[in-house]
Amino acid sequence: MDARAAPVIDDVRRRQIIVGVLAAMLLAALDQTIVAPAMTTIGQSLGHAEYLSWVISAYLVTATAVTPLYGKLADIHGRYPVIVAAVAIFLAGSVACALAPNLGVLVAGRALQGVGGGGLIALAQTVIGDIVPPKQRGNYAAYISGMWAVSGIAGPIVGGVMAEHLHWSMIFWVNLPIGVLALAIMHAPLRDLTFQPKSHRLDVPGAMLVVGATSLAMLALSFGRVSGDWTSPLVLGLAASAAAAGALFVRRLWTFAEPLIPLHVLKDRVIARATASLFFAVGGHLGLSTLAPVYFESMHGLRPDLAALGLTPLALGAVGGALTAARVLVRSDKYKTPALAGLTVALATLAVLAATTEARSFWLTEALFFVYGFGVGTIFPTTTVSVQNAVARHDLGAATALLAFMRSLGSAVGVAVLGAVVLGAGLGAEGGGAGPRVAISPDAFRMAFLIAAVATAVAIAALAAMPRRPLRDSFEPLPPEG
């Protein structure tokens, strides 16, 4: 059977697969939010509180680094064995974390979790691309955005409750039933798909270079963010090493017969513009999401638990924007319009946030965060469907993984840059009321909003430059344009 032919699957099995892969994806998404509320408890239990940030960073480093590798492996070996391996690795890491006797083992377990989690996000989108034609994929991309919102809202709450009333290890044990359930749901229908991958070979040196370059870059961002010293020899050395490994990887892309990421995928104008737009849009969005609790503590005097809940409108807005864009994707060929309009609204909202930083109106800020989230949310289904629509089936894994990789990398850069701007202003405390609260200059937050606005403007420019290709009702690829 030709690699590009659609797999034979009925509606019942299609729904089974989609529910299963979304449950697997929930594992990776939830573990990016559920751990943070338990950090204090973990530090009290295991000690070495000065290294606690690596419980978060270890996961992000490995998850981002391995994402491109999973796409290629799925194109070589098929989706089923690779996604099963990713779930198994993730669950093994979860067990290691739950049983960790010290912080070092916990960090190692989190790194192992990331190796599995990095594949789950890209593979879930790839599998959906296998069984749903591009014209209908917008709805499922919106479901993915909804899942991210659920993890963003429920994760901190569940993590906090488990750490306070049960034991911090429960935030890792809970992954086991979810993972087993996901495998049970998708096992039979995904295994029996008739799709046969095209013959590929894995570029092992290229894989080592991209994993090394990404890991070094993520470590540089992590050390810089934690220490606040971006010019330290360690940070500069890691950054230089990442640049060198990245340069070698780019050279290999142009010289190796079958590189890790196919050259024609990288050179495709739709893919290049879509990934760039997502990188900058997500960088601003995730950077502000990370800093929003600090903003609410500093500017509105909220307690940390209430400050975290202040993120809810931002998350719900993103779901609303994704659903709106998805409906247009299904019904119209003018699928860029909602995302361009949404990002423009997001840009205007950031300008208002920058201008009203000192207004101290909590509900005004929440309303603006909802509108901003709605605007940015439109980019997610638009870029996913555009990229998958631009490639043949045998390149679907590599292209989807590239998009997921750029999303993760954009998130890391956004968090590092905006964190350096705000937290670099210094954390202090103000007395009065029920106790001290975080105090940061309004100018620092204003600068963060303006930087996010610049990133959003770049995202708009990249998306506007992206060629618009009609979305296919079938799985056959359109010929490249230009």
pLDDT digits (tens, 9 = 90+) for 181-214: 999 998 888 877 655 555 567 777 877 888 888 8
Q: Is the CATH number of domain 264-469 3.90.230.10?
A: no
pTM of the model as a whole: 0.80
Alpha-carbon distance of 342 to 379, in angstroms, equals: 8
Q: What is the largest CA-CA distance in the chain?
A: 72
* Between 452 and 428, the higher pLDDT residue: 452
Which of 25-39, 116-130, 144-158, 356-370 has the least mean pLDDT?
Answer: 144-158
pLDDT score, position 38: 75
Domain ranges of the chain: 8-189, 203-259, 264-469
Reported as a single tens digit per residue, the pLDDT across 349-375 is: 999 988 887 766 788 888 999 999 999
State what percent of residues in the chain have pLDDT above 90.
19
The pLDDT mean for the chain works out to: 80
Q: Tell me the average pLDDT across 446-462.
A: 93
Which of 122-126, 154-158, 322-326, 390-394 has the least mean pLDDT?
Answer: 154-158
Pick the CATH number of 8-189 from 3.40.50.620, 3.40.50.150, 1.10.240.10, 1.20.1250.20: 1.20.1250.20
341-344 long-range contacts (CB < 8 A, ≥24 apart) are: 341/378, 342/374, 342/375, 342/376, 342/377, 342/378, 342/379, 343/281, 343/375, 343/376, 343/378, 343/379, 343/456, 343/459, 343/460, 343/463, 344/375, 344/460
Amino acid letter for position 420: A
Per-residue pLDDT at 61 exceeds 50: yes
8-189 and 264-469 have identical folds:
yes
Reported as a single tens digit per residue, the pLDDT across 279-335 is: 999 988 888 887 777 777 777 777 666 666 777 888 888 888 988 888 887 777 777
